[in-house]
Structure 1
Amino acid sequence: MASFMRQSSLLRQTCLSAFRQPLVTKNVTGVSQVVAFHASAKKQILPPPQQVIQGTMNDPAPIPESHPSEGSYHWTFERIVSVGLIPLTIAPFAAGSLNPVMDAVLCSLLVVHSHVGFQASIIDYFPERRVPKTRTSMNWLLRAMTLTTAVGLYEFETNDVGLTEAIRRVWKA
């Protein structure tokens, strides 16, 4: 019993010392490192941004070049596509007519709406200054997926029942 008490006392002191003082280890080069409750080394996901200041603090901010596919034109186009989807989604089911042209326009607007939305996500989450190669690869992946989706919907429209008829059949099943 006395040996058990001694072991538990020693174990308690060992555990408490882990909380009180950090563990000091030596790395490969022989330099001491303080390790306290670290299971792995600190790793950064993205490299730090460039630490370069161009010009002086009194220089005016540069005005970016305007482009017709950015800014208010782009925002207006997104809203037109989004608002256009509302009647095209409701009309085939409310009116009861299945027009292949309306189905094709609905599929086209769905593809454009999805592409624009995912492109906005890529622009937001992968800044070109910070990760240019990742952003380029994500843009190319988006283009490939958009093309694949467009071809798949085209095949579904021409060789099968079409999007609105498929939705109608699933709804009634």
Structure 2
Amino acid sequence: MASTLLRPTTFASRLVCRPVWRTAALHSSSKRAAILPPGPQIIQGGVNDPAPIPKPSPAHGSFHWTFERILAAGLVPLTIAPFAAGSLNPTMDAVLCSVLLLHSHMGFQQVIIDYIPKRRYPGLRKLFWWGLNATTITVGIGMYEFETNDVGLTEAIKKIWKA
């Protein structure tokens, strides 16, 4: 038993025979493929300049954050109510679809704001922003068509759940 533990395995011998340059090339970050090219390294202003204070707006800041939280908290009862009540109410379906669409839109908007800086990639951010708006409008039209010409969102979920 002890002699088999001391004998090198074929797996270990293959690792030892592997050239070092291949291992180093695998772990090298010099050939890293850039998703986006690095932006210009321009410093605006000096070290002692104060940070710019944005103008107050009801669409940004704490009001915007509070509205997002209320919308997210409101989704919980809106999601449970149609299934608990057991009624097919098109008004409740429409409210659920609207709040769900608005919640998704605002969430993806925050992703764009956080990960595509306006100062660094203004064109790309505008492209994603308009793409998000177009997608939200398209999904809204699709949900409206689904609600008016088909069984509706909650009934479709019920049918899928029971399938």
**Structure showing the higher strand proportion among its residues:** 1
Which residue is equivalent to 2:72?
82
Query: Could you tell which deviates more after superposition, 51-60 or 117-126?
Result: 51-60
Q: Which has the higher contact order (CA 8 A, sep 6+)?
A: 2
Give per-residue Cα distances to partners, 1:36-95, cap 9 Å, x unaligned. 959x96764434343333443222222122221111111111111111111111011111
The residue type equivalent to 2:87 in the other structure is: S
After superposition, the Cα gap between the structure-2 partners of 1:51 and 1:106, relative to the gap in structure 1 and judged at 3 Å, is same
Structure 2, gaps ≥5 residues long:
1-18
Which residue is equivalent to 2:100?
110
The residue type equivalent to 1:134 in the other structure is: L
Structure 1, gaps ≥5 residues long:
1-17, 21-35
Root mean square deviation of aligned Cα = 2.5
Match of 2:63 among 73, 77, 85: 73
Distance of 2:31 and 2:159 partners within structure 1: 55
Which residue is equivalent to 2:14?
none
Q: State the SS of the aligned residue for 1:127.
A: coil
**Structure showing the higher helix proportion among its residues:** 2
The residue type equivalent to 2:66 in the other structure is: T
Which residue is equivalent to 1:152?
142
Q: Give the length in aligned residue pairs.
A: 143
After superposition, the Cα gap between the structure-2 partners of 1:52 and 1:171, relative to the gap in structure 1 and judged at 3 Å, is closer
**TM-score, scaled relative to structure 2:** 0.76
Residue 103 of structure 1, CA deviation: 0.5
Which residue is equivalent to 2:122?
132
Distance of 2:34 and 2:93 partners within structure 1: 48
Distance of 2:156 and 2:33 partners within structure 1: 49
After superposition, the Cα gap between the structure-2 partners of 1:171 and 1:64, relative to the gap in structure 1 and judged at 3 Å, is same
Match of 2:131 among 133, 141, 149: 141
